[in-house]
Amino acid sequence: MAGKRQTFRIALAQVNLCVGDLDGNKRKIIEYIHRARENRADLIAFPELSISGYPPEDLLLKRSFVKECNDVLETVVRETSGLIAVIGFPYAEGSPRDEVLLYNGAAIAKNGSLVSVYKKILLPNYGVFDEKRYFTAGNTPSVLEIGGFRFAVNVCEDIWKPGVTRDQVLSGGALVILNISSSPYCAGKGLERQHMVSARARENDAAVCLLNLVGGQDELVFDGESLVVSPDGNLLARAPQFEEALLTVDIDLDEIARMRASRSGSSAGRGSCDRGRVVGLGDWKDAGLRDRGEFREPLIPVISHRLSYVGEIHGALVLGTRDYVRKNGFQKVAIGLSGGIDSAIVAVIAVDALGPENVIGVMMPSRFTSEQSARDAESLSRKLGIKTMTVPIEEIFSEYLDTLSAVFEGREPDITEENVQARIRGNLLMALSNKFGWLVLTTGNKSEIAVGYSTLYGDTAGGFAVVKDVPKTLIYELAKFKNEQAGGPLIPESIIAKAPSAELKPNQKDTDSLPPYEILDPIIEAYVEEDKSREEMVNEGYDEKTVDRVVWMVEKSEYKRRQAPPGIKITPKAFGKDRRMPITNLYRMKKKEG
Amino acid sequence: MAGKRQTFRIALAQVNLCVGDLDGNKRKIIEYIHRARENRADLIAFPELSISGYPPEDLLLKRSFVKECNDVLETVVRETSGLIAVIGFPYAEGSPRDEVLLYNGAAIAKNGSLVSVYKKILLPNYGVFDEKRYFTAGNTPSVLEIGGFRFAVNVCEDIWKPGVTRDQVLSGGALVILNISSSPYCAGKGLERQHMVSARARENDAAVCLLNLVGGQDELVFDGESLVVSPDGNLLARAPQFEEALLTVDIDLDEIARMRASRSGSSAGRGSCDRGRVVGLGDWKDAGLRDRGEFREPLIPVISHRLSYVGEIHGALVLGTRDYVRKNGFQKVAIGLSGGIDSAIVAVIAVDALGPENVIGVMMPSRFTSEQSARDAESLSRKLGIKTMTVPIEEIFSEYLDTLSAVFEGREPDITEENVQARIRGNLLMALSNKFGWLVLTTGNKSEIAVGYSTLYGDTAGGFAVVKDVPKTLIYELAKFKNEQAGGPLIPESIIAKAPSAELKPNQKDTDSLPPYEILDPIIEAYVEEDKSREEMVNEGYDEKTVDRVVWMVEKSEYKRRQAPPGIKITPKAFGKDRRMPITNLYRMKKKEG
């Protein structure tokens, strides 16, 4: 034993679970417990609310659901022989006769028994989060002790502010902090998480492990990228983004203890032990764990490469699409291909997510479809290797005009006739969906959706809106990224080069109705994502009239967004649960009166 | 003065405000302040968050919005000469340099100055409410004192539990409690509110006034029915349901003081004055109020008649429809009339809400429309006195079948062809909406929406879903109610008598696909509104197979509801913000495995 360093082997199970899939989640958790035991880990951790999937939303209001989660937890706990397992689950405390309080819990199991449950202390109730709708906040920053070594568990939000971790280290004497998260992605979030975890480690002279869920759930993508950071804030290990992984690391406990002792100025706890909050797990061997004297081949820590800014957005869109399609039981998807850039990008992402054999491009030309657009859609489909079909809308459109001619008598053509075309396409795509069981992917981008430049039940008709949170300017960056990745024009240059058009009337251009996207997108970002006021935007140099027009368009089209399909959040504030605006809303919508 | 009773005249302004309409809300509030002064009231109260409208949702995240609300409040406060005014508004405390905390505030103004702000203590964050998303909770159950008399203000949720009111009476010595609410309607809520207010009065030997907002806001209707209850729990005054009113009552302060003194067993505060929480308003006259010696003709209190169970649901639907249409700037509405009961009820409600001159019935017959249905739609329209137009879908439908014949080759007709018809109708209605500026009202009821018996972008296409929270069996009760009210078959008996059918294929009946509504509706109520489990429902005697089928249908159609238009909540749990279920959700959706 002499000379051997005491290490603690932690396995972070960055798994892709599914909301409500209690059987599937159970099987995956047990499978990973077995893998961790084979890897001779001392502890395995699973993400926040693993048993239920995250976020379970109002399933949590069903007592039967919470009860079944608890049954699954009991089964899983019995599988933990020879190690410690930390598992997120909804924890109902109290007997059915009393008031039952629900907590966002982390079960701590050891060698087949449930030892303790940590209750999440900080409950996020902003942005996409509604945790105060469901959970009571815990109030005990407890720590765990095994063989004289102390570590602590906390859950997601708990680590984003200094308090909980500081309590666990200062009063509790924890050397290692394990945070189990289900932290949703937006662009740049991974780096932000890494900086935050490093700060928490340095503040406390503690090793910090952050385990994050991976996978898509409705509008959210969980990006994984679990982290282990040393007490000096340096990265020890990192799991990949957007993939499952079992990130296993040896944490050198002697090193941390030595480091902490040597830092005289440090206030990090050196045994100031608040016994009331310490959950004792016994000695290593009593705990059913590996004998410390037994040799274990040391692990080489893995630091996965991070994707580029655009690369990670692409990764999020691919995973979000794949998981929405598959978890909802679909095999194939249909996409209306117009020859424009938005439908091209959606097709590319669908192919990356599902393979070309599962993507059907549907061309629905009209009298306003240019030859170039038809050629571009054809050429893109060939490059992607996807099946296509052509269903022209001309005859149907003529029939609508005939049928409506009596009631429309004396009226000039206007946007009505444009919308009729878009809705014919929506109807045709949905007919294909009904007949063949394909999920329809819609192609609207965030710029269009923000200002309502879309036809409700027309181009917005479909099950999943892949790029609904991607501004148009970023759509172009994604095209560039994919063409660079492909080493050539996977997306034909003419698609990228041409001026955007809905092709619903002769010579139509998006800029007939909208400011250029280079001007529009920053205003949308300032107004929607940053909640800046008209005055702030004007003071920052945006054109006053353009700002007023954009604000008006954004608020006037809330009703369209309320009926739009879900799609993947990639920005700090997506339309959806992130931004809950009234439809009936006269703020700045009327001319100033009085 | 001798022999004169000391009274406190409270005017409850049960007003219809609009979210975001700061100018309009300001004008209405000032108008009512003038009316109250003319009525020689000592105090006028306005509902919770009057300045902003309720619920302002994420408008509250815009600093500029909160700032403008404060500006409006300042203007309103200057109008309060000669009386006290209590006005709900979003209250930002702190300087922009520090952290600004937002409270759900009640401004207490007196004779032109702001005296104090009460901060709502209990913030609802369940059901349709998200108040913890926006507000910090207050923690001071303060009271107000004028001329030695104490009263207290609290806000909505604060009065639904005993604690806050008890503190204001026991520690604060308040004789009168004034609660300003924006309490949304569901069937029976008014009576529940009255029982609760009576209980609060009796517990505390205090007079209780509950002022409620009136009006429709997206999916919510605020039903008014403001109340004043004496310390023995008896109703002193009640404003009407679903209408604006200025409910003015004289509260006999001597009587309350005497009553309180005489009840030896009562623990209600008799001068146990916690000075820290008392906001002094001075003496009556110093406060700029009426001289107590001056004669004031006593008021006869008004107790408005309550509507019947079905009558109040009708009232909620009418007000909710009128306000959604008008506040969103529409004049006229279009309704697809099928000859069935759902579209008949929606047409009747639209006529009650907007007048027959603003309702257009659109008949869109197909090869499957029975002659009886066509006759019924025609006859209903005549009775309602609404304009109709007929736009047959036959030619367009044939053209769809032709166009799709190539890609559908070898496939049998199925539900696809049914949905195509419904979506043609959706497209036609939206074309009329686009061309003429009419809002389309959809006609789907809660039973259909619960089990997904509808065509997305077809019969669900439209701006507002009037009866989306009305189960089919209640649709029939509404028809009976309206015919009784009309003293004859306003809705033709044949519409009520015939078996429900979508008429999308030959001899189709709803019962081909669904259990009879008398069986379906109670299961939906148990499962959706009461969150009962499969096992609980089976134990209560529901057929096991039917329960399983209904649960499966409800959960499988969440994606349709996510894209459905908003509509009026009338049950304890409506689809919408009330029930936040994941779309991707495998709970009970897979065959039991393992």
SS3 label, residue A56: coil
Report the complex ipTM.
0.95
pLDDT digits (tens, 9 = 90+) for B337-347: 999 999 999 99
Q: Is A99 on the interface with B (CB under 8 A)?
A: no
pLDDT digits (tens, 9 = 90+) for A393-437: 999 999 999 999 999 999 999 999 999 999 999 999 999 999 999
pLDDT of residue A172: 94
In which band, very low, low, confident or very high, does the pLDDT at B2 lie, cut at 50, 70 and 90? very low
Between CA B360 and CA B365 the distance in angstroms is 16
User: Does pLDDT of A594 surpass 60?
Assistant: no
B535–A64 CB contact, under 8 Å: yes
Burial profile A235-267: b = 16 or more Cβ within 10 angstroms, e = fewer: ebbbbbbbbbbbbbbbbbbebbeebbeeeeebe
State the average pLDDT over residues A3-29. Answer: 93
State the average pLDDT over residues B542-560. Answer: 96
State the average pLDDT over residues A298-303. Answer: 92
pLDDT digits (tens, 9 = 90+) for B8-34: 999 999 999 999 999 999 999 999 999
Contact list in A for residue B588 (CB cut-off 8 A) is: 20
pLDDT of residue B590: 58
Structure tokens of B417?
């062809």
Q: Is A416 on the interface with B (CB under 8 A)?
A: yes
Spell out the residues 6+ positions from residue B382 whose beta carbon is closer than 8 angstroms to its own.
none
pLDDT digits (tens, 9 = 90+) for A182-193: 999 999 999 999
A531–B402 CB contact, under 8 Å: no
pLDDT digits (tens, 9 = 90+) for A145-193: 998 899 999 999 999 999 999 999 999 999 999 999 999 999 999 999 9
User: Does pLDDT of A263 surpass 80?
Assistant: no
Q: Is B297 on the interface with A (CB under 8 A)?
A: no
Q: Is B18 considered catalytic here?
A: no
Interface of A with B in 419-448 (CB under 8 A): 419-420, 423-424, 426-428, 430-432, 434-435
Dihedral angle of Cα B18, B24, B27, B28, to the nearest 10 degrees: -30
Q: Using a pLDDT cut of 90, give the percent of chain B over it.
A: 87
For residue A477, the cross-strand partners are none
Half-sphere exposure of A373 (CA within 13 A, CB side): 23
Facing residue for A27 by CB, picked from B402, B415, B594: B594
pLDDT of residue A565: 98
User: Does pLDDT of B323 surpass 70?
Assistant: yes
In which band, very low, low, confident or very high, does the pLDDT at B537 lie, cut at 50, 70 and 90? very high
B559–A392 CB contact, under 8 Å: no
What mean pLDDT is reported for chain B? 94
Which of A61, A238, A27 lies closest to A134, judged by CA? A61
pLDDT digits (tens, 9 = 90+) for B97-129: 667 899 999 999 999 999 999 999 999 999 999
In which band, very low, low, confident or very high, does the pLDDT at A274 lie, cut at 50, 70 and 90? low
pLDDT of residue A592: 40
What mean pLDDT is reported for chain A? 94
pLDDT of residue A229: 97
pLDDT digits (tens, 9 = 90+) for A508-537: 999 999 999 999 999 999 999 999 999 999
DSSP symbol at A60 = G
In which band, very low, low, confident or very high, does the pLDDT at A50 lie, cut at 50, 70 and 90? very high
Q: How many CB pairs under 8 A join A and B?
A: 242
Between CA A302 and CA A247 the distance in angstroms is 8
CB burial of residue A435 (10 Å; 0-12, 13-18, 19+): buried
User: Does pLDDT of B293 surpass 80?
Assistant: no
B404–A395 CB contact, under 8 Å: no
The side-by-side arrangement of strands in the sheet containing B207-212 is: B235-238, B227-229, B207-212, B176-181, B149-155, B143-146, B278-280
* Nearest residue of B to residue A51, measured between CA atoms: B587
Q: What predicted TM-score, i.e. pTM, was given to this entire model?
A: 0.96
B565–A563 CB contact, under 8 Å: yes
The side-by-side arrangement of strands in the sheet containing B113-119 is: B113-119, B101-110, B84-93, B43-45, B7-14, B245-252
Facing residue for A431 by CB, picked from B19, B63, B420: B420
* Nearest residue of B to residue A129, measured between CA atoms: B133
Q: Using a pLDDT cut of 70, give the percent of chain B over it.
A: 95
pLDDT of residue B261: 82
pLDDT of residue A273: 56
The DSSP result for A392-424, as a single string, is: --HHHHHHHHHHHHTTTTTPPP-HHHHHHHHHH
pLDDT digits (tens, 9 = 90+) for B248-267: 999 999 889 888 888 745 44
* Nearest residue of A to residue B390, measured between CA atoms: A407
User: Does pLDDT of A223 surpass 50?
Assistant: yes
